[in-house]
Amino acid sequence: MRISPLIDRLIDSLQAQPGVGPKTATRTALHLLQYNRAGALALATALTDAAQQVQHCRLCRTLTESELCAICANPKRDAGALCIVESPSDIVAIEQAGGFGGRYYVLHGRLSPIDGVGPEELGLNALAEHVRASGAKEVILATNPTVEGEATAHYVKESLHESGTSVTRIAHGVPLGGELEYIDGGTIAHALQGRRRID
């Protein structure tokens, strides 16, 4: 239903958010206009500031408005371990899990020749130099276990072959709390292949 030009435009614009369709957008627009105009204006300012000022960290390429992100600027983070991820949200997921004290490198995508995404777009040409300069002893490949993610991991491994750096891949297998009978065959095959001796 069309309400008024400005409200309709707000409803359309709200759908730029992932997972927000016409119904949620309508509810959100009316809620903000009825009860929280200050919040709507604060959100508008935050969107403008972030969209105009957020860029990529000079070292790890994650999103930040500073030259260096908080992790790269933190001297306590271990420069010896470099974790390669596809996107900034992967960093959020790994940081929230805790337990990793190293640094990151964000590809902003994965190799996908069909979409015109090659090594250049992912910053892979600069990666070997970055690894050398950072003094990383171990490069951990945390790209997603999809066809493109695996191809990307393979490419990175090959491109670091000459550097002599140790390259590892995160484990893929049965997730915690997962029950074997509900897990797909590919995951089970990975879990069997990646089995380890228990001492």
Q: How far is the CB of 1 from its own copies (least distance, A)?
A: 5
* Total site size for its own copies, rule CB under 8 A: 57
Interacting residue with its own copies among 51, 114, 171, 180 (CB under 8 A): 51
SS3 content of the chain, % helix, strand, coil (to 5): 45, 10, 40
**DSSP structure class, residue 145:** S
Tally of CB atoms within 10 A around 8:
14
* 3-class DSSP assignment, residue 137: coil
- Give me the least distance between CB of 56 and its own copies, in Å please: 10
Of residues 29 and 111, the one with the C-beta less far from its own copies? 29
41 binds its own copies (CB under 8 A): yes
Decide: is 47 part of the binding site for its own copies (CB under 8 A): yes
Give yes or no for residue 193 binding its own copies (CB under 8 A): no
- 32 binds its own copies per the rule CB under 8 A: yes
Cα(27)–Cα(103) distance, integer angstroms: 41
Binding mask 76-95 for its own copies (x = CB under 8 A): -----------xxx--x--x
For 108: left if phi > 0, alpha if psi spans -120 to 50, otherwise beta; the answer is left
Positions of E strands within 110-193: 138-141, 166-169
The bridge status of strand 103-106 relative to strand 138-141 is unpaired
Please, which residue, 98 or 185, has the CB nearer to its own copies? 98
| Cβ contacts of 27 within 8 Å, gap of 6 or more | none
CB of 59 to its own copies, least distance (A): 14
Write out the residues near its own copies by the rule CB under 8 A. 1-7, 9-10, 12-14, 16-19, 24, 26-34, 36-37, 39-54, 63-66, 69-70, 87-89, 92, 95-96, 108
